[in-house]
A and B are shown apart, each in its own frame.
Chain A
């Protein structure tokens, strides 16, 4: 079949890439500003303590110090939070985690700010801290917030759990433990705020949703929202972590206080201890199956450590819980999940949003069950995968994209056979493992999710996309440029998206949840159609013929007699009359009644899913316990490829992050301090990743997607860790139930 697309599906060059290779791209830390002042945050040295007194006198006397600010200095809201307003911008009375901001210093130089930070006297009365979410959930634990430590308790039942286990010939029961993970974007959190005239402020952010920053800043400074202008700098990665305010409130507070310009940049240490992480979790998982492999029952209990403040904890719990059955039909389910406050650094959104945690449990357990029954890992999965029209335990009915599941398994089987045939290095033991995954798209039913974007056809013929959501570095801009170019039949070079600015861009909502290409793409296809209609109406007036006699095609207007007129001619004529062609469209994430259950305790079920499978081949040194992933394959259904290199980049980068989760990364507490640098927290380097790597991209169209596309942002890291764990089990017979898979765990020395 010949490809009917002009631009969609092609591998094109990102337009922002050139400036990124020359150093010209301006990230928020790079933006030059006159009379810029330096902000520095004094943070809590305690995990949990009462603040007795803050004496700022001496620090204010240091030459060059312009302001020393505390909670009381904030003119408006003193707390914020994306779901629950429980987080103080500057601590009040009590600090609940190490690294919590207490005082904000603004000075002329870094040196003066540092000196002031050294001089500030904060007296604390340390309190007994709690770090374990299971302990913290108890009534006798120190209660960190007024309403207790358990902020979310979900309890979902489907079918008859007792009967489900009675029907089972085999029952397995295990506990899986997941570590705290740093999103690890290379650009630390940064904000730049400039106070303007007439009570206005402009703030540059590195954020997944500048419109939320705008709202939070206005509330904190007690300003009307329209007085706050938020602009996006070039963003150096986000991966969910920049759904939370990345210093924008404090930078704005500083600028407001000195009526000047202030930049705040987190050091990596600050990023580690004071910005949200992936939730550590304990998952107790019990699965029943009949001797033919059919799953009969699942019972699970989950404790998630959300740290000192809620961040996105309750929402992460929803996806973690919803995906506890993975991509399988299990008729009888009972799952309970608890999100618990502790004195750990906060946890929030990170790529996968709960699903990497649940999949480690499900996919490890499914392999254990296969072994217990004496079945092949692919065969047991085949016997249980969800089919089109089947209900998940959340009550959601799966649409036709579930057709990807058996294909993922076929491909995985082929690859496993191939990987098994690879010769083993001397002295090593080789193993091959796979895992399957389902990742939800969207924010969930009942969460308002509208995304608005605008097009402008400039007089020179260029189409400008007023994109309402930021490109986080993943390449959203390229994807929507390709979609818009396709919809208008224009060359990719003629379409350009503009960076976000709340002043005059529509609100496209937060870039997250594997859905921004889907949302913006749909909105822009619709906006393109409107733009064409508008163009034809104006052209009709100019040519004095009814618009319906005219046809638009690929940058030209075709008259009834077949004569073709270039669109630029009309744009020029309109410009003379001061008319600019623009169109705007809003796409709302669809929750069709027939697939969206109501009345679930979870409140916000997700109805669209992405599917994928991954296969790992490992070589384990049986004496040292070291694991090398030598071969890796990632199979993903993307609905329709919009940008070939973009999709590959998402998969390859996701797998790398998944391998970090599998083998290296964990933010431990050692000697009462958190691991807070890349010296001890190991991100995968180019040396650590498999030298044999394959991406297999499937295109099973999603009817509601732009040209059939669905999301690919998150799922590539979801099945990775269990695929590796299953390969390690296959190689040396050790089932590692706690990530990361360290040599000590492989040798069975710990846990």
Chain B
């Protein structure tokens, strides 16, 4: 198999990667680029959302994206969410609302929540439940994640 080289914008930085084409974005992030915030919880079957990253503004399961598909895209991973050393409001609200337990689902859930709020600044409970439904969590029962998203959306964070 021949390798391919792709260039894309990763967390705001121009990045290029050379790899066999049968590898996924998740493999490349974790194994080649040392970005281990995206997790594999389902065996790369697109069922858990733990590997979620933002690609061109949309949440995607990075285990389902082959690297040939990322040429020219803009990708944000959890490592790129802080701005100028400041936590993103969702990172704060997840901590504040007690939405983080084991944390394995947290990076994926936060990135999904970010795209949700980017597209719909004040979602209802129902819209949040729909939006988060691709991100499995075994620890929290989701209630505190929903609270966290409302907290971020309503700007009620302590600083």
Chain A interface residues toward B at CB < 8 A: 11, 13-14, 16-27, 29-30, 32, 183-188, 234-237, 239, 267-269, 472-475, 645-646, 648-649, 652-657, 677-679, 683, 685-687, 689, 691, 693
Q: Which residues of A contact B60 (CB under 8 A)?
A: none
A652 CB contact (under 8 Å) in B36, B81, B95, B144: B144
Would you call A649 and B144 a contact (CB within 8 A)? Answer: yes
| A318: min CB distance to chain B, Å | 26
Bound together, the chains give a CA A691 to CA B130 distance in angstroms of 12
Q: Does B12 contact A (CB under 8 A)?
A: no
B-side contacts of A678, CB under 8 Å: 42, 45, 47-48, 136
Partner of B136, one of A186, A267, A646, A652: A186
Partner among B42, B45, B130, B139 whose Cβ is within 8 Å of the Cβ of A237: B139
Question: Taking the nearest CB of chain B, how far is it from the CB of A123, in angstroms?
Answer: 28
Min CB distance A31 to B, Å, is: 9
Query: Measured between C-beta atoms, what is the minimum distance from B123 to chain A in Å?
Result: 12
**Is B35 interfacial (CB 8 A cutoff)?**
yes
What is the minimal beta-carbon distance from B130 to any residue of chain A, in angstroms?
6
Contact call B103/A687, Cβ cutoff below 8 A: no
How long is the Cα–Cα vector from A11 to B95 in the complex, in angstroms? 11
On whether the beta carbons of B101 and A474 are closer than 8 Å, the reply is yes
Task: Provide 14 A-B residue pairs closer than 8 Å at the C-beta atoms, listed in order of the A residue.
Answer: A14-B100, A18-B95, A22-B78, A25-B103, A26-B36, A185-B102, A186-B50, A187-B39, A269-B43, A645-B144, A648-B98, A649-B98, A686-B142, A686-B145
Chain B residue nearest to A652 in the complex (CB): B141
A105 shortest CB reach to chain B, Å:
18
Chain B: which residue is nearest A658 at the CB level? Answer: B141
The complex places the Cα of A366 from the Cα of B136 at a distance, in Å, of 34
Q: Which residues of A contact B95 (CB under 8 A)?
A: 13-14, 17-18, 21
Cα A25 to Cα B94 in complex, Å, equals 15
B102 touching A472, Cβ below 8 Å: yes
The A contact surface, by secondary structure, is: loop
A646 to B100: give the CA distance in the assembly, Å: 10
* Given A19-B103, A29-B40, 18 further pairs, Cβ under 8 A: A17-B95, A18-B87, A21-B87, A21-B90, A21-B94, A21-B95, A23-B77, A26-B36, A186-B39, A187-B39, A239-B138, A268-B41, A649-B139, A653-B141, A657-B138, A677-B47, A685-B142, A687-B130
Of all chain B residues, the one with the shortest Cβ separation from A474 is: B101
Query: B107 at the A/B interface (Cβ < 8 Å)?
Result: yes
> Does B13 sit at the interface, judged by CB under 8 A?
no
A186 contacts B98, CB within 8 Å? Answer: no
Known contacts A27-B104, A677-B42; A22/B140 CB under 8 A: no
Indicate with 1 or 0, residue by residue over B109-131, a CB within 8 angstroms of chain A CB atoms.
Answer: 01000000000000001101110
**Shortest beta-carbon distance, A352 to chain B, in Å?**
14
Shortest Cβ distance from A36 into B: residue: B31
Distance (whole angstroms) from the CB of B48 to the closest CB of chain A? 6
Q: Choose one: B39, B47, B130, B143; the contact of A236 (CB below 8 Å).
A: B39
Residues in B whose Cβ lies below 8 Å from that of A268: 41-43, 45, 48
Q: How far is the CA of A580 from the CA of B137 in the complex (A)?
A: 42
CB atoms of B43 and A186 under 8 A apart: no
| Residues of chain B lying within 8 A (CB to CB) of residue A474 | 101-102, 139
- Is B59 an interface position by the 8 A CB rule? no
**Complexed CA–CA distance, A736 and B117 (Å):** 41
Contact B133 A686 (CB under 8 A): yes
Q: In the bound complex, what is the Cα–Cα distance between A661 and B134 (angstroms)?
A: 20
CB distance from B121 to the nearest CB of A (A): 19
| Contact A186 to B91, CB < 8 A, known contacts A13-B96, A652-B144 | no
Total chain B interface residues with beta-carbon distance under 8 A? 58
Nearest neighbor of A14 in chain B, beta-carbon distance = B100
**From B41, B81, B110, B140, residue with most partner A Cβ within 10 Å:** B41
Q: Report how far A188 CA is from B104 CA in the complex, Å.
A: 10
**A21 adjacent to B141 (CB under 8 Å):** no
Which B residues touch A691, using CB under 8 A?
125-126, 129
Tell me, rounded to whole Å, the shortest Cβ–Cβ distance linking A237 to chain B: 4
Interchain CA distance A20-B35 in the complex, whole Å = 13
The 5 closest A-B pairs by CB, nearest first: A23-B37, A473-B102, A20-B103, A236-B104, A645-B98
Q: A474 CA to B90 CA in the complex, in Å?
A: 21
Q: Contact at A187–B102, with CB atoms within 8 Å? A: yes
Q: Are B143 and A652 in contact (CB under 8 A)?
A: yes
Asked if B155 is at the interface (CB within 8 A of a chain A CB), the reply is: no
Interchain CB contact under 8 A, A237 and B138: yes
Cα of A655 to Cα of B95 in the assembled complex, Å: 21
* Interface assignment of B4: CB less than 8 Å from any CB of chain A: no
CB distance from A158 to the nearest CB of B (A): 37
Name the residue of chain B whose CB is nearest to the CB of A20: B103
Least CB distance, A718 to chain B, in whole angstroms: 15
A84 CA / B133 CA spacing, docked (Å):
41
Q: Could you tell me if A679 and B103 are in contact, using CB atoms closer than 8 angstroms?
A: no
Residues of chain A within 8 A of B103, CB atoms compared: 16-17, 19-21, 25, 234, 236, 473
Specify the chain B residue showing the minimal Cβ separation from A188.
B41
Q: B24 at the A/B interface (Cβ < 8 Å)? A: no
Choice from B45, B50, B130 contacting A679 with Cβ under 8 Å? B45
| Min CB–CB distance A381 → chain B (angstroms) | 25
Docked pose: A20 CA to B105 CA in angstroms = 9
CA distance A640 to B47 in the complex (A): 38
For the complex, give the distance between the alpha carbons of A82 and B111 in Å: 40
Question: Known: A21-B94, A22-B37. Contact between A679 and B104, CB under 8 A?
Answer: no
